Structure 1
Amino acid sequence: MMRLDQWLCEEHDLELQVARSYILQGLVSVNGEKILQAGRTFRPDRDNLEFRRPRDFRNRGTAKLRPALQYIQDTLNLEEKPPWVRWPCLDIGASHGGFTAALLEASAHRIYSLDVAYGIFDYELRRREDVVLLERKNVRYLDPSWFDQEFLEAEGIFIVCDVSFLSLRPVLASVVDFFLTHMHCGFQGLFLLKHQFEASEQTEQGVLRDDELRTRLESEIHDFLRQRGLNLLASIPAGLPGRKGNRETFLWLDFDRKTV
Protein backbone atom coordinates (compact mmCIF):
# COMPACT_ATOMS: atom_id res chain seq x y z
CA MET A 1 0.00 0.00 0.00
CA MET A 2 1.12 3.56 -0.68
CA ARG A 3 -0.04 7.01 0.37
CA LEU A 4 -1.50 9.22 -2.32
CA ASP A 5 0.81 12.17 -1.57
CA GLN A 6 3.85 9.88 -1.66
CA TRP A 7 2.85 8.59 -5.11
CA LEU A 8 2.33 12.11 -6.43
CA CYS A 9 5.75 13.25 -5.15
CA GLU A 10 7.64 10.35 -6.70
CA GLU A 11 5.69 9.92 -9.94
CA HIS A 12 5.61 13.64 -10.78
CA ASP A 13 8.74 14.88 -9.03
CA LEU A 14 6.93 17.26 -6.67
CA GLU A 15 7.62 18.73 -3.26
CA LEU A 16 5.43 17.14 -0.58
CA GLN A 17 3.51 20.33 0.21
CA VAL A 18 2.89 20.97 -3.49
CA ALA A 19 1.59 17.43 -3.94
CA ARG A 20 -0.76 17.79 -0.98
CA SER A 21 -2.09 21.09 -2.27
CA TYR A 22 -2.90 19.48 -5.64
CA ILE A 23 -4.77 16.69 -3.85
CA LEU A 24 -6.78 19.22 -1.83
CA GLN A 25 -7.62 21.00 -5.09
CA GLY A 26 -9.27 17.81 -6.30
CA LEU A 27 -6.75 17.17 -9.06
CA VAL A 28 -6.17 13.50 -8.19
CA SER A 29 -8.60 10.63 -8.57
CA VAL A 30 -8.38 6.91 -7.78
CA ASN A 31 -10.45 4.55 -9.92
CA GLY A 32 -12.46 7.50 -11.16
CA GLU A 33 -13.20 8.89 -7.68
CA LYS A 34 -11.81 12.30 -6.74
CA ILE A 35 -9.76 11.97 -3.53
CA LEU A 36 -9.13 14.92 -1.20
CA GLN A 37 -7.21 13.08 1.54
CA ALA A 38 -3.43 13.15 1.04
CA GLY A 39 -3.01 10.21 3.40
CA ARG A 40 -5.39 7.90 1.55
CA THR A 41 -3.66 4.63 0.68
CA PHE A 42 -3.98 2.58 -2.48
CA ARG A 43 -2.29 -0.21 -4.42
CA PRO A 44 -0.21 1.10 -7.37
CA ASP A 45 -0.32 -2.28 -9.09
CA ARG A 46 -4.12 -2.51 -9.00
CA ASP A 47 -5.66 0.95 -8.75
CA ASN A 48 -5.98 3.43 -11.61
CA LEU A 49 -4.66 6.87 -10.61
CA GLU A 50 -5.17 10.05 -12.59
CA PHE A 51 -3.58 13.45 -12.01
CA ARG A 52 -5.14 16.41 -13.80
CA ARG A 53 -2.19 18.73 -13.86
CA PRO A 54 -2.78 22.48 -13.32
CA ARG A 55 -1.81 24.95 -16.01
CA ASP A 56 1.29 26.08 -14.14
CA PHE A 57 2.59 22.53 -13.68
CA ARG A 58 6.25 22.15 -14.59
CA ASN A 59 8.39 19.05 -14.71
CA ARG A 60 12.11 18.60 -14.24
CA GLY A 61 12.29 15.63 -16.59
CA THR A 62 13.41 17.68 -19.56
CA ALA A 63 16.26 19.18 -17.52
CA LYS A 64 17.27 15.71 -16.33
CA LEU A 65 17.52 14.23 -19.82
CA ARG A 66 18.94 17.15 -21.81
CA PRO A 67 22.60 16.79 -20.63
CA ALA A 68 22.59 13.05 -21.37
CA LEU A 69 21.42 13.68 -24.93
CA GLN A 70 24.14 16.30 -25.28
CA TYR A 71 26.72 13.83 -23.97
CA ILE A 72 25.81 11.35 -26.71
CA GLN A 73 25.84 14.11 -29.31
CA ASP A 74 29.33 15.15 -28.24
CA THR A 75 30.68 11.61 -28.68
CA LEU A 76 29.55 11.36 -32.32
CA ASN A 77 31.33 12.49 -35.45
CA LEU A 78 30.19 15.90 -36.65
CA GLU A 79 28.54 14.37 -39.72
CA GLU A 80 26.82 11.57 -37.79
CA LYS A 81 23.18 12.00 -36.80
CA PRO A 82 22.29 10.90 -33.25
CA PRO A 83 20.16 7.76 -32.90
CA TRP A 84 17.03 9.68 -31.82
CA VAL A 85 17.13 11.52 -35.15
CA ARG A 86 17.84 8.44 -37.29
CA TRP A 87 15.31 6.15 -35.60
CA PRO A 88 11.85 6.31 -33.99
CA CYS A 89 11.94 6.87 -30.21
CA LEU A 90 10.18 5.12 -27.35
CA ASP A 91 9.63 7.05 -24.10
CA ILE A 92 8.96 4.55 -21.30
CA GLY A 93 7.33 6.08 -18.24
CA ALA A 94 6.43 9.19 -20.23
CA SER A 95 4.24 10.61 -17.46
CA HIS A 96 3.37 14.17 -18.54
CA GLY A 97 6.00 14.34 -21.28
CA GLY A 98 9.24 15.78 -19.89
CA PHE A 99 11.50 13.33 -21.73
CA THR A 100 9.33 13.50 -24.86
CA ALA A 101 9.76 17.29 -24.87
CA ALA A 102 13.54 16.93 -24.53
CA LEU A 103 13.65 14.54 -27.50
CA LEU A 104 11.60 16.93 -29.62
CA GLU A 105 13.97 19.76 -28.70
CA ALA A 106 16.81 17.52 -29.92
CA SER A 107 15.11 17.02 -33.33
CA ALA A 108 13.53 13.59 -32.82
CA HIS A 109 11.05 13.00 -35.66
CA ARG A 110 8.67 10.44 -34.09
CA ILE A 111 8.16 9.46 -30.46
CA TYR A 112 6.00 6.73 -28.94
CA SER A 113 5.23 7.92 -25.40
CA LEU A 114 4.18 5.06 -23.13
CA ASP A 115 2.88 5.17 -19.58
CA VAL A 116 0.66 3.12 -17.31
CA ALA A 117 -1.21 6.28 -16.30
CA TYR A 118 -4.04 8.02 -18.12
CA GLY A 119 -4.84 11.68 -18.66
CA ILE A 120 -1.64 13.25 -17.32
CA PHE A 121 0.34 13.68 -20.55
CA ASP A 122 0.89 17.30 -21.61
CA TYR A 123 -2.03 18.64 -23.66
CA GLU A 124 0.12 20.39 -26.26
CA LEU A 125 2.37 17.36 -26.73
CA ARG A 126 -0.53 14.96 -27.15
CA ARG A 127 -1.81 17.06 -30.06
CA ARG A 128 1.43 16.76 -32.04
CA GLU A 129 1.45 14.48 -35.07
CA ASP A 130 5.00 13.34 -34.31
CA VAL A 131 3.98 12.01 -30.87
CA VAL A 132 2.10 8.71 -30.52
CA LEU A 133 0.59 8.50 -27.04
CA LEU A 134 0.26 5.04 -25.50
CA GLU A 135 -1.65 5.45 -22.23
CA ARG A 136 -2.63 2.72 -19.76
CA LYS A 137 0.21 0.57 -21.07
CA ASN A 138 2.51 -1.33 -18.70
CA VAL A 139 6.09 -1.75 -19.93
CA ARG A 140 6.26 -5.18 -18.30
CA TYR A 141 3.68 -6.45 -20.81
CA LEU A 142 4.86 -4.90 -24.08
CA ASP A 143 2.72 -6.00 -27.01
CA PRO A 144 3.34 -5.48 -30.75
CA SER A 145 -0.32 -4.55 -31.24
CA TRP A 146 0.42 -1.24 -29.50
CA PHE A 147 2.73 -0.11 -32.29
CA ASP A 148 2.38 0.76 -35.97
CA GLN A 149 4.41 -0.53 -38.90
CA GLU A 150 6.84 2.40 -38.79
CA PHE A 151 7.92 1.29 -35.33
CA LEU A 152 7.87 -2.47 -35.95
CA GLU A 153 9.86 -2.23 -39.19
CA ALA A 154 12.39 0.40 -38.05
CA GLU A 155 16.12 -0.13 -38.50
CA GLY A 156 16.61 0.76 -34.84
CA ILE A 157 14.78 2.28 -31.87
CA PHE A 158 16.08 4.88 -29.42
CA ILE A 159 14.61 4.46 -25.93
CA VAL A 160 14.45 6.80 -22.96
CA CYS A 161 13.15 5.44 -19.69
CA ASP A 162 12.21 6.88 -16.30
CA VAL A 163 10.11 4.63 -14.07
CA SER A 164 9.38 4.92 -10.34
CA PHE A 165 8.59 2.34 -7.64
CA LEU A 166 10.08 -0.39 -9.81
CA SER A 167 13.54 -1.88 -10.28
CA LEU A 168 15.08 -1.29 -13.67
CA ARG A 169 15.70 -5.03 -14.10
CA PRO A 170 12.15 -6.17 -14.97
CA VAL A 171 11.86 -3.18 -17.31
CA LEU A 172 15.04 -4.09 -19.18
CA ALA A 173 14.10 -7.77 -19.23
CA SER A 174 10.73 -6.94 -20.78
CA VAL A 175 12.26 -4.65 -23.40
CA VAL A 176 14.93 -7.18 -24.41
CA ASP A 177 12.38 -10.01 -24.64
CA PHE A 178 10.10 -7.83 -26.78
CA PHE A 179 12.89 -7.02 -29.21
CA LEU A 180 14.02 -10.65 -29.43
CA THR A 181 10.47 -11.84 -30.07
CA HIS A 182 8.85 -9.13 -32.15
CA MET A 183 11.49 -6.83 -33.66
CA HIS A 184 14.05 -7.26 -36.41
CA CYS A 185 16.33 -4.53 -35.06
CA GLY A 186 18.16 -3.64 -31.89
CA PHE A 187 18.02 -0.48 -29.80
CA GLN A 188 20.04 2.13 -27.99
CA GLY A 189 18.72 3.99 -25.02
CA LEU A 190 19.11 6.11 -21.92
CA PHE A 191 17.66 4.28 -18.92
CA LEU A 192 17.50 6.22 -15.66
CA LEU A 193 18.92 4.16 -12.79
CA LYS A 194 17.25 5.16 -9.53
CA HIS A 195 19.24 3.37 -6.86
CA GLN A 196 16.54 3.99 -4.26
CA PHE A 197 14.17 1.68 -6.14
CA GLU A 198 16.79 -1.05 -6.47
CA ALA A 199 17.00 -1.29 -2.67
CA SER A 200 13.89 0.48 -1.39
CA GLU A 201 13.98 -1.37 1.96
CA GLN A 202 17.40 0.14 2.72
CA THR A 203 16.55 3.80 2.19
CA GLU A 204 16.00 6.48 4.81
CA GLN A 205 12.60 8.01 4.04
CA GLY A 206 13.12 7.25 0.35
CA VAL A 207 16.73 8.48 0.18
CA LEU A 208 19.69 6.15 -0.38
CA ARG A 209 22.66 7.54 1.56
CA ASP A 210 25.01 4.52 1.67
CA ASP A 211 27.71 4.99 -0.99
CA GLU A 212 28.98 1.44 -0.57
CA LEU A 213 25.49 0.14 -1.22
CA ARG A 214 25.21 2.36 -4.28
CA THR A 215 28.43 0.89 -5.65
CA ARG A 216 27.26 -2.66 -4.98
CA LEU A 217 23.90 -2.02 -6.64
CA GLU A 218 25.65 -0.63 -9.71
CA SER A 219 27.89 -3.70 -9.88
CA GLU A 220 24.84 -5.97 -9.69
CA ILE A 221 23.09 -4.00 -12.42
CA HIS A 222 26.18 -4.24 -14.63
CA ASP A 223 26.20 -8.02 -14.15
CA PHE A 224 22.53 -8.13 -15.11
CA LEU A 225 23.21 -6.10 -18.25
CA ARG A 226 25.88 -8.55 -19.38
CA GLN A 227 23.59 -11.51 -18.73
CA ARG A 228 20.88 -9.99 -20.93
CA GLY A 229 23.21 -9.07 -23.78
CA LEU A 230 23.13 -5.33 -23.10
CA ASN A 231 26.26 -3.28 -23.73
CA LEU A 232 26.86 -0.38 -21.33
CA LEU A 233 28.32 2.45 -23.41
CA ALA A 234 28.48 4.99 -20.57
CA SER A 235 27.04 6.01 -17.21
CA ILE A 236 25.91 9.64 -17.29
CA PRO A 237 24.78 11.63 -14.22
CA ALA A 238 21.25 12.96 -14.54
CA GLY A 239 20.99 16.70 -15.14
CA LEU A 240 19.21 17.12 -11.80
CA PRO A 241 18.98 14.96 -8.67
CA GLY A 242 15.69 13.43 -7.62
CA ARG A 243 13.35 15.69 -5.68
CA LYS A 244 14.48 14.15 -2.38
CA GLY A 245 18.13 14.53 -3.30
CA ASN A 246 18.79 11.04 -4.63
CA ARG A 247 21.63 10.91 -7.14
CA GLU A 248 20.39 9.31 -10.34
CA THR A 249 22.34 8.00 -13.32
CA PHE A 250 21.49 7.40 -16.96
CA LEU A 251 22.73 4.11 -18.37
CA TRP A 252 23.50 4.54 -22.06
CA LEU A 253 22.80 1.05 -23.38
CA ASP A 254 23.12 -0.69 -26.71
CA PHE A 255 21.36 -3.92 -27.66
CA ASP A 256 22.34 -5.71 -30.86
CA ARG A 257 20.01 -8.69 -31.25
CA LYS A 258 22.41 -10.26 -33.79
CA THR A 259 25.02 -10.82 -31.07
CA VAL A 260 22.68 -12.38 -28.49
Structure 2
Amino acid sequence: MRADVLLVERGLAPSRTAAQRLIAAGLVFAGKGNSRVALSKPSASVAEDSLLEVEASELDRFVSRGGLKLDGALTHVALDVAHWRCLDVGQSTGGFTDCLLQRGAAQVVGVDVGHDQLHPRMRADVRVTCIEGVNARELSMTALKDCVAAACRNPSIAASNTAASGSYSGDFLLGFDLIVADVSFISLTKVLPQWPALLSANGRVLSLVKPQFEVGADNLARGGIVRDVSLYAVVEATIRAACAHAGLRVLDYFDSPITGTDGNREFFVYAERA
Protein backbone atom coordinates (compact mmCIF):
# COMPACT_ATOMS: atom_id res chain seq x y z
CA MET A 1 0.00 0.00 0.00
CA ARG A 2 1.15 3.57 -0.63
CA ALA A 3 2.78 5.12 2.41
CA ASP A 4 0.57 8.23 2.38
CA VAL A 5 -2.61 6.15 2.12
CA LEU A 6 -1.54 3.88 4.97
CA LEU A 7 -0.77 6.87 7.21
CA VAL A 8 -4.32 8.13 6.75
CA GLU A 9 -5.85 4.68 7.30
CA ARG A 10 -3.86 4.31 10.54
CA GLY A 11 -5.04 7.72 11.75
CA LEU A 12 -1.49 9.08 11.76
CA ALA A 13 -2.39 11.88 9.33
CA PRO A 14 -5.74 13.61 8.74
CA SER A 15 -5.40 13.56 4.94
CA ARG A 16 -3.14 12.34 2.16
CA THR A 17 -1.88 15.89 1.69
CA ALA A 18 -0.89 16.03 5.35
CA ALA A 19 0.71 12.59 5.08
CA GLN A 20 2.73 13.68 2.05
CA ARG A 21 3.89 16.75 3.95
CA LEU A 22 5.06 14.63 6.88
CA ILE A 23 6.94 12.26 4.58
CA ALA A 24 8.59 15.15 2.72
CA ALA A 25 9.74 16.55 6.07
CA GLY A 26 11.44 13.23 6.92
CA LEU A 27 9.18 12.58 9.89
CA VAL A 28 7.72 9.19 8.93
CA PHE A 29 9.56 5.96 9.75
CA ALA A 30 8.83 2.32 8.95
CA GLY A 31 10.10 -0.67 10.91
CA LYS A 32 11.83 -0.71 14.28
CA GLY A 33 15.27 -1.08 15.79
CA ASN A 34 18.09 -1.40 13.27
CA SER A 35 15.58 -1.83 10.46
CA ARG A 36 13.85 1.50 11.15
CA VAL A 37 14.11 3.71 8.06
CA ALA A 38 12.72 7.10 7.06
CA LEU A 39 10.26 7.02 4.18
CA SER A 40 11.30 9.37 1.39
CA LYS A 41 8.37 9.16 -1.01
CA PRO A 42 4.59 9.28 -0.43
CA SER A 43 4.24 6.67 -3.17
CA ALA A 44 6.60 4.22 -1.45
CA SER A 45 5.08 0.76 -1.13
CA VAL A 46 4.66 -0.30 2.50
CA ALA A 47 3.29 -3.59 3.79
CA GLU A 48 -0.08 -3.10 5.47
CA ASP A 49 1.19 -4.70 8.70
CA SER A 50 4.33 -2.52 8.86
CA LEU A 51 5.08 -0.53 11.98
CA LEU A 52 4.80 3.19 11.17
CA GLU A 53 5.89 6.05 13.40
CA VAL A 54 5.53 9.81 12.97
CA GLU A 55 7.95 12.00 14.90
CA ALA A 56 6.59 15.10 16.59
CA SER A 57 7.50 18.40 14.95
CA GLU A 58 6.40 21.98 14.41
CA LEU A 59 4.05 20.64 11.73
CA ASP A 60 1.90 19.16 14.51
CA ARG A 61 1.18 22.49 16.19
CA PHE A 62 -1.67 23.48 13.89
CA VAL A 63 -4.25 21.70 11.74
CA SER A 64 -2.44 22.84 8.60
CA ARG A 65 0.87 24.34 7.53
CA GLY A 66 -0.80 27.73 7.20
CA GLY A 67 -0.80 28.03 10.98
CA LEU A 68 2.99 28.13 10.98
CA LYS A 69 2.98 30.94 8.42
CA LEU A 70 0.57 33.11 10.39
CA ASP A 71 2.27 32.33 13.69
CA GLY A 72 5.56 33.60 12.29
CA ALA A 73 3.89 36.66 10.81
CA LEU A 74 2.16 37.58 14.09
CA THR A 75 5.49 37.27 15.87
CA HIS A 76 7.17 39.44 13.22
CA VAL A 77 4.71 42.30 13.70
CA ALA A 78 4.48 41.73 17.48
CA LEU A 79 0.69 41.50 17.38
CA ASP A 80 -1.22 40.24 20.43
CA VAL A 81 -4.62 38.91 19.32
CA ALA A 82 -5.85 37.86 22.78
CA HIS A 83 -9.59 38.57 23.16
CA TRP A 84 -9.85 39.83 19.58
CA ARG A 85 -12.65 39.25 17.09
CA CYS A 86 -11.07 37.94 13.88
CA LEU A 87 -12.14 37.25 10.31
CA ASP A 88 -10.34 34.47 8.42
CA VAL A 89 -10.77 34.90 4.65
CA GLY A 90 -10.05 31.67 2.79
CA GLN A 91 -10.42 29.56 5.92
CA SER A 92 -9.98 26.19 4.18
CA THR A 93 -8.64 23.58 6.65
CA GLY A 94 -8.32 26.21 9.36
CA GLY A 95 -4.58 26.67 9.90
CA PHE A 96 -4.91 30.43 10.36
CA THR A 97 -7.97 29.94 12.57
CA ASP A 98 -6.13 27.42 14.74
CA CYS A 99 -3.20 29.82 15.15
CA LEU A 100 -5.50 32.67 16.20
CA LEU A 101 -7.29 30.49 18.75
CA GLN A 102 -4.03 29.24 20.23
CA ARG A 103 -2.99 32.86 20.62
CA GLY A 104 -6.15 33.66 22.55
CA ALA A 105 -8.59 35.10 20.01
CA ALA A 106 -12.11 35.38 21.41
CA GLN A 107 -13.90 34.68 18.14
CA VAL A 108 -12.97 33.66 14.60
CA VAL A 109 -15.44 33.96 11.75
CA GLY A 110 -14.13 32.07 8.72
CA VAL A 111 -15.32 32.32 5.13
CA ASP A 112 -14.46 30.11 2.18
CA VAL A 113 -15.84 29.55 -1.29
CA GLY A 114 -15.47 25.78 -0.82
CA HIS A 115 -17.31 23.30 1.38
CA ASP A 116 -16.38 20.70 4.00
CA GLN A 117 -12.71 21.67 4.21
CA LEU A 118 -12.53 22.89 7.81
CA HIS A 119 -10.79 20.50 10.20
CA PRO A 120 -13.30 18.83 12.58
CA ARG A 121 -11.47 20.18 15.63
CA MET A 122 -11.91 23.73 14.37
CA ARG A 123 -15.53 23.18 13.39
CA ALA A 124 -16.30 21.88 16.89
CA ASP A 125 -14.73 24.86 18.67
CA VAL A 126 -17.42 27.18 20.07
CA ARG A 127 -15.28 30.21 19.23
CA VAL A 128 -15.37 29.41 15.52
CA THR A 129 -18.04 30.25 12.96
CA CYS A 130 -17.57 28.69 9.52
CA ILE A 131 -19.35 30.29 6.55
CA GLU A 132 -19.04 28.21 3.39
CA GLY A 133 -19.85 28.79 -0.26
CA VAL A 134 -19.16 32.52 -0.04
CA ASN A 135 -17.18 34.47 -2.64
CA ALA A 136 -14.69 36.69 -0.81
CA ARG A 137 -15.24 39.43 -3.39
CA GLU A 138 -18.81 39.80 -2.14
CA LEU A 139 -18.12 40.09 1.58
CA SER A 140 -20.10 42.61 3.59
CA MET A 141 -21.14 42.87 7.22
CA THR A 142 -24.77 42.40 6.20
CA ALA A 143 -23.97 39.21 4.30
CA LEU A 144 -21.97 37.82 7.22
CA LYS A 145 -24.72 38.64 9.68
CA ASP A 146 -27.40 37.02 7.53
CA CYS A 147 -25.41 33.82 6.94
CA VAL A 148 -24.50 33.32 10.58
CA ALA A 149 -27.94 34.20 11.96
CA ALA A 150 -29.69 31.92 9.45
CA ALA A 151 -27.51 28.97 10.43
CA CYS A 152 -28.17 29.52 14.12
CA ARG A 153 -31.94 29.75 13.61
CA ASN A 154 -31.90 26.56 11.56
CA PRO A 155 -28.99 24.17 12.26
CA SER A 156 -29.97 22.07 9.22
CA ILE A 157 -28.71 24.90 7.02
CA ALA A 158 -25.19 24.23 8.22
CA ALA A 159 -25.49 20.57 7.35
CA SER A 160 -26.71 21.34 3.84
CA ASN A 161 -23.42 22.87 2.71
CA THR A 162 -25.06 26.20 1.94
CA ALA A 163 -24.14 28.55 4.71
CA ALA A 164 -22.60 28.49 8.16
CA SER A 165 -21.89 26.37 11.19
CA GLY A 166 -20.69 27.22 14.66
CA SER A 167 -21.89 29.39 17.49
CA TYR A 168 -23.36 32.84 16.96
CA SER A 169 -21.98 35.94 18.61
CA GLY A 170 -23.07 39.33 17.35
CA ASP A 171 -19.90 40.93 18.69
CA PHE A 172 -18.30 40.92 15.25
CA LEU A 173 -20.99 43.33 14.02
CA LEU A 174 -18.96 46.00 15.82
CA GLY A 175 -16.18 45.28 13.34
CA PHE A 176 -13.29 42.85 13.35
CA ASP A 177 -10.13 43.62 15.28
CA LEU A 178 -8.13 41.60 12.74
CA ILE A 179 -8.67 40.25 9.24
CA VAL A 180 -6.32 37.47 8.13
CA ALA A 181 -6.41 35.99 4.65
CA ASP A 182 -4.96 33.17 2.58
CA VAL A 183 -6.63 33.06 -0.82
CA SER A 184 -5.66 31.11 -3.93
CA PHE A 185 -6.50 31.27 -7.64
CA ILE A 186 -7.55 34.90 -7.30
CA SER A 187 -5.64 38.15 -7.01
CA LEU A 188 -5.64 39.70 -3.56
CA THR A 189 -6.48 43.01 -5.24
CA LYS A 190 -9.95 41.60 -6.02
CA VAL A 191 -10.63 40.74 -2.39
CA LEU A 192 -9.13 43.40 -0.12
CA PRO A 193 -11.36 46.35 -1.22
CA GLN A 194 -14.15 44.91 0.97
CA TRP A 195 -12.04 44.76 4.12
CA PRO A 196 -11.99 48.34 5.48
CA ALA A 197 -15.78 48.27 5.94
CA LEU A 198 -15.45 45.10 8.03
CA LEU A 199 -12.78 46.42 10.40
CA SER A 200 -13.25 48.03 13.79
CA ALA A 201 -11.90 51.56 14.25
CA ASN A 202 -8.46 50.24 15.19
CA GLY A 203 -8.66 47.03 13.19
CA ARG A 204 -5.70 45.52 11.36
CA VAL A 205 -5.15 43.34 8.29
CA LEU A 206 -2.52 40.61 8.04
CA SER A 207 -2.78 38.82 4.72
CA LEU A 208 -0.67 36.28 2.89
CA VAL A 209 0.42 37.40 -0.58
CA LYS A 210 0.95 34.65 -3.15
CA PRO A 211 2.79 36.11 -6.17
CA GLN A 212 1.89 33.14 -8.37
CA PHE A 213 -1.72 34.39 -8.34
CA GLU A 214 -0.74 38.00 -8.98
CA VAL A 215 1.67 37.86 -11.94
CA GLY A 216 -0.44 36.03 -14.53
CA ALA A 217 -0.03 32.56 -16.03
CA ASP A 218 2.43 33.79 -18.68
CA ASN A 219 4.96 34.56 -15.94
CA LEU A 220 4.83 31.12 -14.35
CA ALA A 221 7.17 28.23 -15.05
CA ARG A 222 6.22 24.58 -14.84
CA GLY A 223 4.69 23.79 -11.48
CA GLY A 224 3.38 27.33 -11.05
CA ILE A 225 6.71 28.82 -9.95
CA VAL A 226 7.24 32.54 -10.65
CA ARG A 227 9.82 32.72 -13.46
CA ASP A 228 11.41 36.11 -12.79
CA VAL A 229 12.28 37.10 -9.21
CA SER A 230 12.14 40.77 -10.22
CA LEU A 231 8.36 40.37 -10.39
CA TYR A 232 8.21 40.12 -6.61
CA ALA A 233 8.85 43.88 -6.41
CA VAL A 234 6.11 44.46 -8.98
CA VAL A 235 3.68 42.42 -6.90
CA GLU A 236 4.57 44.38 -3.77
CA ALA A 237 3.97 47.69 -5.55
CA THR A 238 0.64 46.40 -6.85
CA ILE A 239 -0.52 45.25 -3.42
CA ARG A 240 0.55 48.52 -1.79
CA ALA A 241 -1.34 50.50 -4.42
CA ALA A 242 -4.46 48.34 -4.01
CA CYS A 243 -4.37 48.83 -0.25
CA ALA A 244 -4.07 52.60 -0.61
CA HIS A 245 -6.94 52.70 -3.08
CA ALA A 246 -9.11 50.63 -0.73
CA GLY A 247 -8.39 52.87 2.26
CA LEU A 248 -5.74 50.78 3.98
CA ARG A 249 -2.37 52.06 5.19
CA VAL A 250 0.42 49.49 4.78
CA LEU A 251 2.49 49.16 7.95
CA ASP A 252 4.80 46.37 6.77
CA TYR A 253 5.41 44.00 3.87
CA PHE A 254 7.67 41.05 4.54
CA ASP A 255 8.58 37.48 3.61
CA SER A 256 6.48 34.63 4.92
CA PRO A 257 8.50 32.61 7.46
CA ILE A 258 8.06 29.52 5.27
CA THR A 259 7.54 29.06 1.54
CA GLY A 260 4.46 27.67 -0.13
CA THR A 261 4.11 23.92 -0.57
CA ASP A 262 4.92 24.39 -4.26
CA GLY A 263 8.20 26.12 -3.40
CA ASN A 264 7.02 29.62 -4.26
CA ARG A 265 8.24 32.54 -2.20
CA GLU A 266 5.35 34.15 -0.34
CA PHE A 267 4.86 37.39 1.60
CA PHE A 268 2.63 39.05 4.17
CA VAL A 269 1.10 42.52 4.00
CA TYR A 270 0.25 44.18 7.32
CA ALA A 271 -2.10 47.16 7.23
CA GLU A 272 -4.59 49.29 9.13
CA ARG A 273 -7.49 51.55 8.19
CA ALA A 274 -6.14 54.77 6.72
TM-score, structure 2 length as denominator?
Answer: 0.64
| Displacement after TM superposition at 1:86 (Å) | 4.3
| Displacement after TM superposition at 1:102 (Å) | 0.7
| Displacement after TM superposition at 1:208 (Å) | 0.6
- Residue-by-residue CA offset, 1:134-187 (whole Å, 9 max, x unaligned): 111221111242355211124x420110000000001101323x43xxx76453
Matched, 1:165 2:181: no
Count of aligned pairs: 194
Corresponding position of 2:137: 140
Relative to structure 1, is the Cα distance of residues 111 and 219 closer, same or farther in structure 2, using a 3 angstrom cutoff?
same
Corresponding position of 1:67: 72
Relative to structure 1, is the Cα distance of residues 70 and 225 closer, same or farther in structure 2, using a 3 angstrom cutoff?
same
| Displacement after TM superposition at 1:239 (Å) | 2.2
Relative to structure 1, is the Cα distance of residues 137 and 63 closer, same or farther in structure 2, using a 3 angstrom cutoff?
same
Q: Equivalent of 1:200, from 188, 197, 216?
A: 216
Return 5+ residue gaps in structure 2 as ranges: 1-14, 22-61, 149-168
Q: Equivalent of 1:130, from 127, 130, 146?
A: 127
Relative to structure 1, is the Cα distance of residues 250 and 119 closer, same or farther in structure 2, using a 3 angstrom cutoff?
same
Q: Distance in 2 between matches of 1:209 and 1:72?
A: 29
| Displacement after TM superposition at 1:87 (Å) | 2.7
| Deviates most, 104-113 or 216-225 | 216-225
Other structure's SS at 1:104 match: helix
Q: Distance in 2 between matches of 1:251 and 1:237?
A: 9
Matched, 1:212 2:233: no
Corresponding position of 1:238: 256
Matched, 1:151 2:172: yes
Corresponding position of 1:92: 89
Q: Distance in 1 between matches of 2:77 and 2:126?
A: 26
Other structure's SS at 1:102 match: helix
Relative to structure 1, is the Cα distance of residues 150 and 199 closer, same or farther in structure 2, using a 3 angstrom cutoff?
same
Relative to structure 1, is the Cα distance of residues 253 and 152 closer, same or farther in structure 2, using a 3 angstrom cutoff?
same
**Once the two structures are aligned, what percentage of the paired residues are identical?**
32
- 1:72 maps to a residue whose letter is V
Q: Distance in 2 between matches of 1:211 and 1:232?
A: 22
TM-align CA RMSD: 2.6
- 2:220 maps to a residue whose letter is T
Q: Distance in 1 between matches of 2:237 and 2:203?
A: 22
Other structure's SS at 1:85 match: coil
Q: Distance in 1 between matches of 2:235 and 2:138?
A: 25
Contact 1:68 1:239 in 2 (8 A): yes
| Deviates most, 205-214 or 121-130 | 205-214
Relative to structure 1, is the Cα distance of residues 185 and 149 closer, same or farther in structure 2, using a 3 angstrom cutoff?
farther
Contact 2:187 2:213 in 1 (8 A): yes
Relative to structure 1, is the Cα distance of residues 13 and 241 closer, same or farther in structure 2, using a 3 angstrom cutoff?
farther
Higher alpha-carbon Rg: 2
Corresponding position of 1:47: none
| Displacement after TM superposition at 1:58 (Å) | 5.8
Relative to structure 1, is the Cα distance of residues 101 and 210 closer, same or farther in structure 2, using a 3 angstrom cutoff?
same
Q: Distance in 1 between matches of 2:124 and 2:200?
A: 30
Relative to structure 1, is the Cα distance of residues 145 and 236 closer, same or farther in structure 2, using a 3 angstrom cutoff?
same
Return 5+ residue gaps in structure 1 as ranges: 1-11, 20-56, 77-81
- 1:124 maps to a residue whose letter is R
